[in-house]
Amino acid sequence: MKPEAVLESIESDAPKRGLPIIGPVRGKILDETIAKFKPSKILEVGTLVGYSAIRMGRHLEKGQKITCVEIDEKIAKVARSNFEKAGLSDLIEVIVGDARNVLPKLEGSLDMVFLDAVKVDYIFYLRSVERLLHKGSVVLADNVKSHADEVADYLEYVRNSGKYTSTYRDFPLGYRMASGSPEGDAVEVSVRL
């Protein structure tokens, strides 16, 4: 299957099953970021069934890589099967575990990080992998509008630590969940100085 067909199938399934994927509206920022920064090594924290990873992975070439960290083994299995369907298994690996334990042990450098697991832990995730970032590495954090209180310390850090230039990207008319109500949200995009 083409990756786009797998994405469409997840998009139609997600509202029915209440799966909190980034969706096709905010998901465009992942496409844009990859086109702009051309990252070779990507880390995703919180993978669910693999929607956002497929969205990113379809732009990558042999030799480039996404490392996904997902705590739920059953969900990780579904994600792996979706990567297989999309023909992206060689480019995407899944580590099953709690990001709070996995991230401090990661090695190598990272060009892009996508944070989408426990919102209150975004700051911990970032601080755990900060040693792997370089000038120009880009960090995206999803749901910074819907979970503003939980990510307040994260936003304070990326905006005011002097280590990043940071932009709030608001998508007021987001992906429509089953209820039909618009699920607008925002993504914080921070580039390491």
Ligand X SMILES: C[S@@+](CC[C@H](N)C(=O)[O-])C[C@H]1O[C@@H](n2cnc3c(N)ncnc32)[C@H](O)[C@@H]1O
Asked whether position 21 contacts ligand X by CB under 6 A, the answer is yes
**Which residue's CB is nearer to ligand X, number 33 or number 52?**
52
List 91, 92, 99, 138, residue binding ligand X (CB under 6 A)? 99
Do strands 110-115 and 41-45 pair parallel, antiparallel, or not at all (unpaired)?
parallel
Give one DSSP letter per residue of 57-86, joined into a string: HTT--TT-EEEEEES-HHHHHHHHHHHHHT
Asked whether position 39 contacts ligand X by CB under 6 A, the answer is no
Asked whether position 188 contacts ligand X by CB under 6 A, the answer is no
List 70, 183, 185, 188, residue binding ligand X (CB under 6 A)? 70
Of the candidate spans 69-77, 104-112, 132-140, 174-182, the one that interacts with ligand X by CB under 6 A turns out to be 69-77
**Which residue's CB is nearer to ligand X, number 163 or number 184?**
184
List 41, 100, 159, 163, residue binding ligand X (CB under 6 A)? 100
Token representation of residue 64: 């480039």
Cβ neighbours of residue 54 closer than 8 Å, sequence gap 6 or more = 3, 6, 7, 10, 82, 83, 86, 88, 92
Minimum Å gap between C-beta 159 and ligand X is 23
Q: End-to-end CA distance of the chain: give it in Å, rounded.
A: 39
Cβ neighbours of residue 64 closer than 8 Å, sequence gap 6 or more = 39, 40, 41, 42, 91
Cα 59 to Cα 82: distance, rounded to the nearest angstrom = 16
Asked whether position 69 contacts ligand X by CB under 6 A, the answer is yes
Binding site for ligand X (CB under 6 A): 20-22, 46-48, 51-52, 69-72, 75, 98-100, 116-118
